[in-house]
Amino acid sequence: MVSPAIALAFIPFLLTVLIKYRYYILLFYRAVLVRRLQDLITGRSREDRAFQYVFTHALPGNAESILDTFDHWCTKIEYLSNIGPKKGKVLDRLIGDMAPKTVLELGTHCGYAAVRIARLLELGARLYTVEMDEENGRIAEKIIRLAGFDDDTVELINGHSEDVIPQFRERFGVDHIDFVFMDHWKRCYLRDLQLLEESGLIGKGSIILADNVIFPGAPHFLRYIKSSGLYQYRIHRATLEYFPGIRDGMAELTYMGTT
């Protein structure tokens, strides 16, 4: 057995670890433990619980109300990894400044970012948003329609990004994508960026915004954009959505093409 003296000696170390990693511990508690407990109690997914809350508390047809209600749920009730309001301002600014005609989102999840983008699109512009999980896709579709956007503005595509991107031009008749927002599996960022390059869907001046490049992180993606010579880039330093104590960042890329 461990003697009391040895056990006491570990207390300062444990306290140091708890203090240093308190935000990550809280994230694990909210994102994993609370989620599993609520899944068990309610018999519904976290995404469905979020939809039910938004459906009963937000104003239909009002995108700002949808977003505010989502933010309240994620901050006060259960954690959900939307882009959130703070990093969302970077997305808002880029969409507003660029006024893209064609936008591709990889990783719809519950539709938060899709609503955020769609509310700023000019007349005639279109967002294509890709979600691999069919159940999440159904929930996102309901959120997007609840916010007042129809198929002519937002088209939701259920499928894997590595399958959708190579077929995108032929399937949707799109020759050029002005703006790409990446917020799906971080390990897929580099693969999908290269697929976009190979397909010719992005051209000189196309902008790619990738979330969570610091936490959880996308190191291979970052190394590539820094070394490829194809992009002008900047990292927007931020914190994890709804967790101000965890450092994160977004990569903004402007495709310059080959010389």
Set 105, 178, 211, 252: catalytic member:
211
- Could you read off the pLDDT of 20-78 as tens digits, one per residue? 788 999 999 999 999 999 999 999 999 999 999 999 999 999 999 999 999 999 999 99
| pLDDT tens-digit map of 77-112 | 999 999 999 999 999 999 999 999 999 999 999 999
Q: Give the Cα separation of 38 and 93 in Å (integer).
A: 36
Is 211 an annotated catalytic residue? yes
Q: What CATH number does the domain located at 84-255 have?
A: 3.40.50.150
Label residue 151 by pLDDT band (50, 70, 90).
very high
> What confidence score (pLDDT) does residue 22 get?
87
pLDDT top residue among 112 and 245 = 112
Active site residue 186: yes
- Asked if pLDDT for residue 17 goes beyond 70, the answer is no
Choosing from 47, 71, 186, 248, the catalytic residue is: 186
105: helix, coil or strand? strand
* Domain extent listing, the chain: 84-255
Burial of 148 (0-12, 13-18, 19+ CB in 10 A): middle
**Average model confidence (pLDDT) across the chain:** 93
Let me know if 101 is a catalytic residue: no
Among 183, 192, 248, 252, the active-site one is: 183
Which one of 47, 82, 212, 252 is the catalytic residue?
Answer: 212
**Does the pLDDT value for residue 157 go beyond 80?**
yes
CB-based contacts of 23: which residues, under 8 Å, 6+ apart? Answer: 243, 245, 246
